[in-house]
């Protein structure tokens, strides 16, 4: 296999800086605002609000029409009492407190799991870099892990897009498996074309065979470097 990337420079270049408070407060990327601004319901609600406001503020009747009623008069005639909003208040409290709180807890759980997975990948890469000197041997293990990570989130995005009714080719759909392989797996050297073709026909979770391939690659380089003092120390307790 010919690597198409420099494995020694395969690093994350853009990271979240927890100490840069001003930039974090001003940034929009990674927040809910970009997705909110793309929501058509938001702008429809704003338009209706201002439309009703201008109708109420500037509607008038001809002087010679005594039976005419302005929008402001209609508004005053149909003022709501506080008791009329009891059901609405109950629903608002339910959604704001209980439902949104439950959704937030689920988000936090998913966020922690995703960060844990990323941290495990970093730890594995550091161990491999420390215990094995051959870059190609290290990459044979890591590329399958990284491919599994990418495939997992590709499948999640694809399922969500199809659940919402987005077809292939739309901005919200990640595309077909072949498109994903040609743009995100093969160019980065994560998988070979033959491996992506095998995974395309694989019926179950496509990210799991990559983990098996990574374990097999790790076993091969352990066998090749079994006489290395660091390798023997690291994996001595794992031997049957």
CA distance to 134, 146, 214, per residue, from 7 (Å): 11, 12, 16
Q: Compute the distance between CA of residue 120 and CA of residue 117 in angstroms, rounded to an integer.
A: 5
Q: What is the pLDDT of residues 218-237, one digit of tens each?
A: 888 877 766 554 444 333 43
Burial class (CB in 10 A: 0-12, 13-18, 19+), 106: exposed
Q: Could you give the dihedral angle defined by the CA atoms of residues 228, 209, 159 and 186, in that order, rounded to the nearest 10 degrees?
A: 70
Mean pLDDT of the chain: 77
Q: Compute the distance between CA of residue 231 and CA of residue 225 in angstroms, rounded to an integer.
A: 7
Q: What is the mean pLDDT of residues 37-60?
A: 85
Q: CB count, 10 Å around CB of 200?
A: 13
Task: Using alpha carbons only, give the angle 201, 207, 212 rounded to the nearest 5 degrees.
Answer: 95
CA distance to 36, 121, 192, 195, per residue, from 4 (Å): 38, 20, 11, 16
Residue 4: the pLDDT is: 45
Q: CB count, 10 Å around CB of 4?
A: 10
Lowest mean pLDDT among 69-83, 121-135, 143-157, 183-197: 69-83
Residue 44: the pLDDT is: 93
CB 193 within 8 A of CB 126: no
| pLDDT > 70: percent of the chain | 82
Q: Is the pLDDT of residue 49 over 70?
A: yes
Pick 11 or 193 by higher pLDDT.
Answer: 193
Q: What is the mean pLDDT of residues 4-15?
A: 42
CA 220 to chain centre: 34
Lowest mean pLDDT among 106-115, 125-134, 179-188: 125-134
Q: What is the mean pLDDT of residues 141-164?
A: 89
The tokens for 105 are 């807890």
CB 138 within 8 A of CB 7: yes
Q: What is the mean pLDDT of residues 50-56?
A: 84
**H/E run at residue 127:** helix 100-131
The tokens for 89 are 């208040």
Pick 20 or 237 by higher pLDDT.
Answer: 20
Picking from 102, 47, 81, 42, the residue whose alpha carbon sits closest to that of residue 89 is: 81
Phi and psi angles of residue 129, each rounded to the nearest 5 degrees, phi first: -65, -30
Residue 151: the pLDDT is: 92
Task: Give residue for tokens 């095998």.
Answer: 198
Q: Compute the distance between CA of residue 33 and CA of residue 15 in angstroms, rounded to an integer.
A: 20
The tokens for 82 are 């506080």
Q: Compute the distance between CA of residue 86 and CA of residue 106 in angstroms, rounded to an integer.
A: 29
Residue 115: the pLDDT is: 82
CB 226 within 8 A of CB 232: yes
Q: What is the pLDDT of residues 172-213, one digit of tens each?
A: 888 899 999 999 899 988 999 999 999 988 888 888 888 888
């Amino acid at each position: 296999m010919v690597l198409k990337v420099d494995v020694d420079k395969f690093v994350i270049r853009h990271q979240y800086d927890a100490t840069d408070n001003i930039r974090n407060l001003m940034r929009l990327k990674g927040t809910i605002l970009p997705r909110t601004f793309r929501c058509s319901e938001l702008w429809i609600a704003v338009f209706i609000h201002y439309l009703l406001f201008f109708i109420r503020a500037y509607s008038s009747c001809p002087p010679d029409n005594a039976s005419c009623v302005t929008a402001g008069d209609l508004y005053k005639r149909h003022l709501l009492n506080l008791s009329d909003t009891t059901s609405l208040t109950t629903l608002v409290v339910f959604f704001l407190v209980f439902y949104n709180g439950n959704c937030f807890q689920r988000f936090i759980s998913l966020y922690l799991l995703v960060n844990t997975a990323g941290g495990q990948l970093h730890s594995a890469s550091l161990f491999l870099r420390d215990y094995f000197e051959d870059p190609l041997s290290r990459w044979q293990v890591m590329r399958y892990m990284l491919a599994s990570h990418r495939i997992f989130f590709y499948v999640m995005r694809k399922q969500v897009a199809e659940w919402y009714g987005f077809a292939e080719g739309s901005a919200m759909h990640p595309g077909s498996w072949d498109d994903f392989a040609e743009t995100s797996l093969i160019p980065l050297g994560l998988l070979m074309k033959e491996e992506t073709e095998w995974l395309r026909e694989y019926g179950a979770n496509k990210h799991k065979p990559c983990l098996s391939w990574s374990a097999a690659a790790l076993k091969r380089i352990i066998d090749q470097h079994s006489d290395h003092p660091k390798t023997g120390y690291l994996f001595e307790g794992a031997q049957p």
